[in-house]
Amino acid sequence: MSWLDADNDEIVVRIVYAGPADSGKTTSIRKLAKLLLGGKQTKVHTPEEIGGQTMYFDWLDYTGGLFQGKRIRCQILSTPGQDELAKRRQYLLESADVCVFVFSSNTDELKYNHNYFLTINKILKKATPDINVVFQANKQDLPEAQDEASVRAAFGIEIEKQMLLLTSAIDGQGIREAFVSAVRLALERAIKLQLSDSLDNHPPFANDPSELLKRLSDDVYASESPVLSDAAQQPPITEQTTPDTENSPESVASTAKYSSVNLKQQDQTDNTNMVMPFETASHQLIYQNNHERRLHNEITCSMSFKREVLPQRWYITLERQWKIINNPNNLYANKAAARIALDKIKKITVALSNILSPQRWHLAAAFGDQWQIWQYVAVLPTLRSNMNLYIANKDSKKLATQLAKTYQLATEFTQKAWQYNPTLHISLDTISIIQEQPYYSGFLAFRSKSNLNLTAFITKLFHDVFIEIKQSRPQLFIETKQSISDISNLDNSAKSLHNILRDI
């Protein structure tokens, strides 16, 4: 809520950036800091990040312009997007004068983003006067980004008369414009408060990053999910606590049997005896925390899912972009043994939190007289899926540039992950980019550490990619090979790819 700072002759307004996890809120604020202050040194305060995700807030102070003769001081904040941090998010939204709703423009995410907005809009509408919204359709730099008309159609009446800007936090497109629009709406709200004699002359909420952090650190605002917090102890990783297949489920699934199934009308042709978590009574499920219980109940309401039969297991993709897998080799005699296994997996997840995509969890479910573990992992775009978009466009120059970028990111991630033994199933199918950093977005399926050294491992990875392109699109392969050669003197990654191509 805005207030008058008589000591500094300023009006203070608070602009809160909200939106789903990984939508680009932090990147937007950091890019905004550079755009507003140019070469001046500034600091965006981010008390804690885990796996590239904000756990408390981002904070940027900016003073510029005049309002009724007073300087305008903007407190620019972001909220954590994770469901388990809803209490922190609510506190921050309640303190806003305007909300910038940041969301991905990807077609597949628009429905989820709309539903997410409806939840935070309930908070905004409780304020007097209303807290208005600037809609920031982000990630316009990606090939699958939708145009303004498509975004407005997906959001419907909630966005009909609202400000909508198409942005790319990576390159700065629309970021300043979204901020300027937000400031204007914040000042309009300040005028309404002033006219109703409700404009404070003292800060009604925590007024600096340290004070705000102290407030949000209270137990009442604590995370409801402890899985990604305080990884002080890193236990040894053992193959007995997680699937130990030699092939990544993500890669095997691409050639698996496929069927679409309605949850309410089970596929009667399925001759396996596998009982899925959806079909298990609630008292026969073990969750690691209440957040996961609520999440499981939510996604179970999804009307349809896709399931693929892998050897002796199910690989399921839910409508809301979750993939699920079980490990039939890990069966537990009773509920107590399954709970112990879940605790071990939780410790492993914490130990690997700096390289794992954060949206993942496990539950144990009864299976006859025994118990088994199921993994839930959010489906994210991968290095391979991004690369395939460029292959489909048949532009050899753009593909060469993308391959060099992919090589750099894959190498960067593998260097971080190489220390773990047994290691993860590292491939282009299991590496995703979150907040410009590579993370493992596959299942926790460990295998023995490769006999290859790191350089040889990466070389084989991209050697296989080039073979695939050569076999499926021979002309594109020839042109891309030449394009990589053309840029090999300018880019170290392209030079490495050029060396790999010599043998193909």
Segment 62-99, tens digit of pLDDT: 999 999 999 999 999 999 987 768 889 999 999 999 99
Q: Given pLDDT bands bounded at 50, 70 and 90, which one contains residue 237?
A: very low
Mean pLDDT, residues 337-349 taken together: 81
pLDDT at res. 423: 66
Mean pLDDT, residues 271-287 taken together: 54
Q: Which of 41-55, 260-274, 394-408 has the least mean pLDDT?
A: 260-274
Q: Which of 166-170, 212-216, 319-323 has the least mean pLDDT?
A: 319-323
Q: Given pLDDT bands bounded at 50, 70 and 90, which one contains residue 269?
A: very low
Mean pLDDT, residues 36-54 taken together: 72
Segment 364-379, tens digit of pLDDT: 888 778 888 888 888 8
CB 278 within 8 A of CB 300: yes
**What is the full DSSP assignment across 52-76?**
TEESS-EEEEEEEEEETTEEEEEEE
pLDDT at res. 262: 32
> What 3-state DSSP class applies to 442?
coil
C-alpha span between 314 and 299 (Å, rounded): 17
- Cβ neighbors of 285 (< 8 A, separation 6 or more) are 277, 296, 363, 364, 365, 366
pLDDT at res. 175: 97
Mean pLDDT, residues 469-475 taken together: 93
Segment 138-190, tens digit of pLDDT: 999 988 899 999 999 999 887 878 899 999 999 999 999 999 999 999 999 99
> What 3-state DSSP class applies to 150?
helix
* Average pLDDT over all residues of the chain: 80
**What is the full DSSP assignment across 291-331?**
HHHHHHHHHHT-SEEEEEEETTEEEEEETTSEEEEEEEEEE
pLDDT at res. 329: 66
Measuring CA to CA, which residue among 78, 187, 177 is closest to residue 136?
177
Mean pLDDT, residues 206-215 taken together: 89
Residue 168 bridge partners (DSSP)? 173
Backbone angles phi, psi at 307, to 5 degrees: -130, 145
Choice between 297 and 63, residue whose per-residue pLDDT is larger: 63
CA distances for 339 relative to 288, 323, 353, angstroms: 9, 22, 21
pLDDT at res. 12: 96
pLDDT at 316 over 60: no
pLDDT at 23 over 80: yes
C-alpha span between 484 and 496 (Å, rounded): 10
The label of the residue with tokens 């039969």 reads: 309
Q: Given pLDDT bands bounded at 50, 70 and 90, which one contains residue 324?
A: confident
pLDDT at res. 240: 31
CB 132 within 8 A of CB 185: yes
Q: Given pLDDT bands bounded at 50, 70 and 90, which one contains residue 42?
A: low
pLDDT at res. 494: 92
pLDDT at res. 301: 55
pLDDT at 251 over 80: no
The percentage of the chain sitting over the pLDDT mark of 70, rounded to a whole number, equals 75
pTM, two decimal places: 0.50
Q: How many residues make up the chain in this entry?
A: 504
pLDDT at res. 439: 93
pLDDT at res. 259: 31
The label of the residue with tokens 């507003």 reads: 36
pLDDT at 282 over 60: no
pLDDT at 304 over 80: no
C-alpha span between 162 and 155 (Å, rounded): 11
Mean pLDDT, residues 466-485 taken together: 94
Choice between 43 and 152, residue whose per-residue pLDDT is larger: 152
Q: Given pLDDT bands bounded at 50, 70 and 90, which one contains residue 236?
A: very low
pLDDT at res. 247: 52
pLDDT at res. 350: 80
pLDDT at 354 over 90: no
The percentage of the chain sitting over the pLDDT mark of 90, rounded to a whole number, equals 44
Q: Which two tokens stand for residue 56?
A: 């408390």
